[in-house]
Amino acid sequence: MQIETFYKSRKNKIIEIFIGLFLVAIPLKLAMTQYKNKAYFPVIFFVILIVFGLLLFLRNLRSKRTLILNDQGISCRTNAIGLVEWKFIEGLEIVKASQSRILVFKITNTEELLSHKNKAIALLMRSNIKPLGSPVVIAENEFDQSLEEVIIAIEAFRKNLNS
């Protein structure tokens, strides 16, 4: 069984770790101040920010695999997309969206692909179709390589799989 893995950029992991720490430290200080002043409602908001900060921090401490290519298809680990079988993948392209570039998977049968996902995930994936043309998209900052290199590697993997 052939497997190839792509990882998240080290630079982006470090940035997200610092953002996570910031989302813990500042709201914690503000929550303590509000709690001492007996203003309890803002404390709830700050606790939610702290939880998000901790999740972001902990998520980036581990070695995060972005994509896993195998015989079945492509498993996307950055969001809830999960496995996209090779039979659904027609091709790949790079799309510029606002200030970043995004890897877009051209899907042959969108409805069949989405029918294999739970309703919440399918709804989120469906929201990508109108602006980006596909339900399966991954931001450039999730890779430690350029998107061009990622596309070349995926196409080479797929070619070796079919031969």
CB neighbours (10 Å) of residue 71? 9
pLDDT by residue, tens only, the chain of 163 residues: 578 877 777 777 788 888 888 888 888 888 888 777 777 677 788 888 888 888 878 877 766 778 889 989 998 877 778 889 999 999 999 999 888 899 999 999 889 988 888 898 888 888 888 888 889 888 888 888 889 999 999 999 988 887 6
β-sheet bridge partners, residue 107: 89
The domain spans of the chain are 10-61, 65-162
Q: What is the pTM of this model?
A: 0.72
Task: For residues 74 and 67, give the distance between their C-alpha atoms in angstroms, rounded to a whole number.
Answer: 7
The residues, ordered by sequence, that sit 6+ positions from 161 with a Cβ below 8 Å of its Cβ are: 2, 71, 86
**Which residue in the block uniquely carries the two structure tokens 């404390």?**
43
The residues, ordered by sequence, that sit 6+ positions from 151 with a Cβ below 8 Å of its Cβ are: 92, 94, 103
